[in-house]
Structure 1
């Protein structure tokens, strides 16, 4: 089949699924008011890969059919550079506001398949083979895949992972002639209404004696027993003037219930194998997927800088305070760009002939973003001030009795017309003040764990050799030649398994 069109993607969404939003059990994703705008956006992203086929498509290594570049298993720096261009094209289409476009899971499973040797440990050869076969099917059928990897929080004092006997967390309850039966819940499945299938794979390491919880698999969204409870919708009517972001970029998030779901044997990647579960995410997952997430984040930061600059221009605000805040946003965007570039040019072979970016710069960026994005929103709010609440609607501008007053009292500085100013400040409000804006800020704070946890992770990752030797130099201790040589490898950072999430 190969790369799908938007029309083909929407046809795939017509398969029924047990999914609720608000008071509705949804029967038609593409037409429901909560989902229609984002469904259309995702369809346009599927079309985008054909419109930018030189950037976004490549021949399948085995069949020759066109597949998205995000399915590539990178084996060189050139492969990573090519993938960067594809990921950036998708990120620019949504200006970084949709964090879980299908390329996220495409990159994830390409990384898993590339390091299938890690998945094959402790007698899990069949699971690893299933994963490799699934990744090929994912690419060749151009599926939209979501995932759910976090255990629900019932009692925070009991920790983030289930203890033996926990009935809430997802766990295996039986073997069948055709596969396994799983029961329990996980959070959150971002993109759930717009996905063809859902993936379960490891997050934080599990405790000894919790083998039934050590699972990884993929199943279609219409699998019997799957239930999805969506959060309140942030979507608005598809009016590009009044709601330029909320009308098309609400990717949704869903709580997932597995009510005795049977998973076919060939879709099981880890079957109650605690050693495999606690190992497979230890090295390649993190630096691989961070390329996608950080390109998306950098794009959003650059969009925010452009938006804030345009707002200052609209009201002719070039005060020192505003110039300082604009420079602050630009600095975040430039640090993000530099970190991604550094990680890519310092890429190396992580094993099995697979190349991923260097994890160090991405770990630092990952730790900073949960602080940067809320600050960016604050800056845009400060620059916009009351103007964010004084932007007429498209209908008000179209009212012949109101329009002369709006043109007189709500025009921009210089030659900026009232309609241009209104459009700009409505965009800014949708970015920082709407329901979608609040959801997106929460997403940026926690989608890759909290800033505090990521700073702890960054400290654990940080090479200590050169830093310690600089201290030793002042204390009078002479560095050894072997220690100096080791500095050459200091930037090649893998993720220690005990703190990988």
Structure 2
């Protein structure tokens, strides 16, 4: 029987964030030892793990759960330095799903959420057996932080790619909604558009730099994006996202959240009033205008938008995670040497 390309198209979910309990205490110091995923038994043929991982996008839709430590571990936390990959239907694995939008949303009113509603999984490992050939770490504490940092790098890189795409959408929507209102030449509109353009271009240039100035791991020779550039750009993205979206909302106005639903437009009685009072000029189609507003709302002020507002800040770790990585990877000695030279210090 001939195989199709999808037969071996395995998909995996990054499974990294533990509940963490009391953040002031280490993994082995928690009241409940299972608040970080840990090894509870070592056997000749594998290990048994227990714990939970939170915020796992698409956990119930993939083939493999690729589990990694959420951070570096100390010698006394050896049971928590665990990494493995198992099929999603492995006995003992439970997934509690939450989606930001119900499946029945229609495309007119929810042009983003109706296509991009992705379940977020609360993944529980209730004494799950993992055979040795699927174990990556089992107590090697010195490698726990390496895996955690590596995952963060690629997740942040993916976030930059998606943000460049979204940034272009925000600019296009801002221009369209301004043209439909006859305000596209207004100096205030032009100023707001420039803010959106600067934000998008800064992220795009940071991503381009990170890829062009790639790094190479030793001795394997694997190529990966520039760590400092990725973290600095992701920090810029997250730190400025919310205040940048205000320019789009300001240009669009209150209709972002008050434009009527498609059912009202299609209704004979209410539809005639909607077409009458959403009119601006002959070359602006009423339905097209509503679609623009619906996309702005859905992307930035409703189901998908609410999800993205949090994801932009938290995906790949919040702002402190990027600050930590920037401090670790910036060439401080070079900067100090330049400062000494400029100050005349030999």
User: TM above 0.5, one fold?
Assistant: yes
Could you tell which deviates more after superposition, 285-294 or 213-222? Answer: 285-294
* One of 134, 143, 149 as aligned partner of 1:276: 143
Shift of 1:223: 1.0
Shift of 1:289: 5.2
Match of 2:158 in 1: 292
Match of 1:199 in 2: 66
* One of 144, 153, 170 as aligned partner of 1:304: 170
CA distance, structure 1, for counterparts of residue 154 and residue 311 of structure 2: 20
Please state if 1:186 is matched with 2:53. Answer: yes
Aligned residues: 341
- Long gaps (5+) in structure 2: none
CA distance, structure 1, for counterparts of residue 290 and residue 261 of structure 2: 7
CA distance, structure 2, for counterparts of residue 154 and residue 321 of structure 1: 48
CA distance, structure 2, for counterparts of residue 465 and residue 278 of structure 1: 24
Equivalent residues of 1:370, 1:445 under 8 A apart: yes
CA distance, structure 2, for counterparts of residue 268 and residue 179 of structure 1: 8
Please state if 1:211 is matched with 2:78. Answer: yes
CA distance, structure 2, for counterparts of residue 469 and residue 172 of structure 1: 46
TM-score normalised to structure 2 length:
0.89
Please give the secondary structure, in 1, of the residue aligned with 2:307.
helix
What are the residue-to-residue correspondences of 1:387-426 with 2, within 5 Å?
Answer: 387-413=255-281, 415-426=283-294
Please give the secondary structure, in 2, of the residue aligned with 1:153.
coil
**Cα 1:347/1:154, change in 2 over 3 Å:** closer
CA distance, structure 2, for counterparts of residue 459 and residue 2 of structure 1: 47
Q: Deviations over 1:41-93 (max 9, x none)?
A: xxxxxxxxxxxxxxxxxxxxxxxxxxxxxxxxxxxxxxxxxxxxxxxxxxxxx
* One of 113, 118, 123 as aligned partner of 1:251: 118
Could you tell which deviates more after superposition, 305-314 or 253-262? Answer: 305-314
Match of 2:295 in 1: 427
Shift of 1:279: 3.9
What are the residue-to-residue correspondences of 1:424-463 with 2, within 5 Å?
Answer: 424-463=292-331
TM-score normalised to structure 1 length:
0.63
CA distance, structure 1, for counterparts of residue 188 and residue 74 of structure 2: 51
Shift of 1:286: 5.3
**Cα 1:458/1:249, change in 2 over 3 Å:** same
- Long gaps (5+) in structure 1: 9-140, 479-501
Please state if 1:267 is matched with 2:112. Answer: no
Please give the secondary structure, in 1, of the residue aligned with 2:5.
coil
Q: Deviations over 1:244-270 (max 9, x none)?
A: 111121222111111111112211111
Could you tell which deviates more after superposition, 195-204 or 269-278? Answer: 269-278
**Cα 1:162/1:2, change in 2 over 3 Å:** farther
Please give the secondary structure, in 1, of the residue aligned with 2:115.
coil
Shift of 1:162: 4.3
Please give the secondary structure, in 2, of the residue aligned with 1:262.
strand
CA distance, structure 2, for counterparts of residue 408 and residue 370 of structure 1: 41
Match of 1:313 in 2: 179
Shift of 1:205: 0.2
Equivalent residues of 1:407, 1:417 under 8 A apart: no
CA distance, structure 2, for counterparts of residue 287 and residue 184 of structure 1: 25
Shift of 1:373: 2.1
